[in-house]
Chains A and B, each alone.
Chain A
Amino acid sequence: MQTKDEVLEQVKATLVELFEIAPERVTMEARLNADLEIDSIDAVDLLDRLRRQTGRKISADDFRSVRTVGDLVNAVHAVLQA
């Protein structure tokens, strides 16, 4: 069972690798679109990567309300719990 902190570390590593974002910019409050410049096209690649990392079925609908890194961590955490 992963804690939210562990999920955050994993999400951070993914964002750094996929989008070349400086790790210190990836905080729980950072907004994906406004602060990190991740748009709906990037979201497709991000979800694809998360699916492979977690081995879970992740539907885009579960992530529609995701706005911040914190939202993303919570959504991934919820998927892992399910």
Chain B
Amino acid sequence: MEERQTYLWRILVTGACFVLFGVGGLILGLIVFPLVLLLPGGPARRRARTRGLVQRAFRLFVATMSGLRGVSYQFKGQERLGRPGQLIIANHPTLVDVVFIVAFTPAPACVVKAALFANPFTRRVVRAAGYISNAPTDSMIEQATGALRSGDALVMFPEGTRTRPGQPMAFHRGTASVAVHGASVLTPIYIRVDQPLLHKTQPWYRVPPRRPHISIEVGADIDLEPYRHQPPPKASRRLNAWLLAHYEQELGESRSYNASSRV
């Protein structure tokens, strides 16, 4: 009976969080950001302010989700995020992982789905924050490389889209290409979810049977030196293959639940 209650409660919390995210994005986009844009300062200051606001909003969102006991989470190694020119990469098992990463990384740039630049809830925010659209590929690579070289930290998801449970991970080489061209340091984040949670083929109300736990672990920096002395096309292919194998190894166990838990 008690489990039934927490189950219904979590459906309610999940729905409320979606509403909060949409309404929050709308309020930020329609009211807060236009006001912030009126403050004095050049585009760089403006972007920094917007990113700071996004970060605070996401922290509040994370606090709400976990405070209402919709999820529990653990974030390890946060202090190593946000170095100049740092490319931060992560696997993408659930819709909410990006919120955690942005909430705990100081003012990063992000490569986000092109659709967010068209979505009325998100488009003003992603523009004002100077986030980078993932399409077309050539301009994504140029902008991402430029952001890193100018000293930004940048967050990218090499899978490009959320992991499909039961299917092998695939990494887009665009991320490896950006790393080879522009990153001063490459830092992996491993995201593990103990149950399928808001993944690609799961409607929002299909919440897991128990309260889900999200573990976010910042891994050791990846040495880019071996890739710096080769033509970029070759270096990015090698790096991409290495990264995929590395993530498969690191996530080994938590990936297997995906394969077995296909409903």
Q: Is A45 an interface residue (CB 8 A)?
A: yes
In this complex, which of A17, A19, A20, A40 has the most chain B Cβ atoms within 10 angstroms of its Cβ? A40
Give A13 to B177 CA distance when docked, in angstroms: 22
How many of B's residues come within 8 Å of A, CB to CB?
Answer: 14
Q: Which of B26-34, B45-53, B137-145 contacts A (4 or more CB under 8 A)?
A: B137-145
Are A45's CB and B233's CB within 8 A?
yes
Are B141's CB and A44's CB within 8 A?
yes
Knowing A41-B173, A44-B141 are in contact, say whether A18-B231 is a contact too (CB < 8 A): yes
Are A40's CB and B138's CB within 8 A?
yes
Give min CB distance, A81 to chain B, whole Å.
24
Give A47 to B233 CA distance when docked, in angstroms: 12
Q: Is A43 an interface residue (CB 8 A)?
A: yes
Are B236's CB and A41's CB within 8 A?
yes
Give min CB distance, A35 to chain B, whole Å.
16
Q: Is A42 an interface residue (CB 8 A)?
A: yes
Residue of B nearest to A17 (CB): B231
Q: Is B85 an interface residue (CB 8 A)?
A: no
Q: Is B136 an interface residue (CB 8 A)?
A: yes
Q: Is A78 an interface residue (CB 8 A)?
A: no
User: B141 — which chain A residues lie within 8 A by C-beta?
Assistant: 41, 44
Are B233's CB and A19's CB within 8 A?
yes
User: B234 — which chain A residues lie within 8 A by C-beta?
Assistant: 19-20
Q: Which of A18, A20, A41 contacts B137 (CB 8 A)?
A: A41
0/1 per residue, B230-242, Cβ < 8 Å to A? 0111101000000
User: B177 — which chain A residues lie within 8 A by C-beta?
Assistant: 41, 44-45
Are A40's CB and B137's CB within 8 A?
yes
Give A47 to B136 CA distance when docked, in angstroms: 15
Chain A contacts with B in 34-82, Cβ cutoff 8 A: 39-45, 47, 60
Give A40 to B236 CA distance when docked, in angstroms: 13
User: B232 — which chain A residues lie within 8 A by C-beta?
Assistant: 18, 45
Give A7 to B232 CA distance when docked, in angstroms: 23
Are B138's CB and A18's CB within 8 A?
no
User: A41 — which chain B residues lie within 8 A by C-beta?
Assistant: 137, 141, 173-174, 177, 233, 236
User: B137 — which chain A residues lie within 8 A by C-beta?
Assistant: 40-41, 44
* A–B complex contacts, Cβ < 8 Å, 13 sampled: A18-B232, A18-B233, A19-B231, A19-B233, A39-B173, A40-B136, A40-B137, A41-B137, A41-B177, A44-B138, A45-B231, A47-B138, A60-B139
Contacts A17-B231, A39-B173, A44-B142 known; 12 new A-B pairs at CB < 8 A: A18-B233, A19-B234, A40-B137, A40-B138, A42-B233, A43-B138, A44-B137, A44-B138, A44-B141, A45-B177, A45-B231, A60-B139
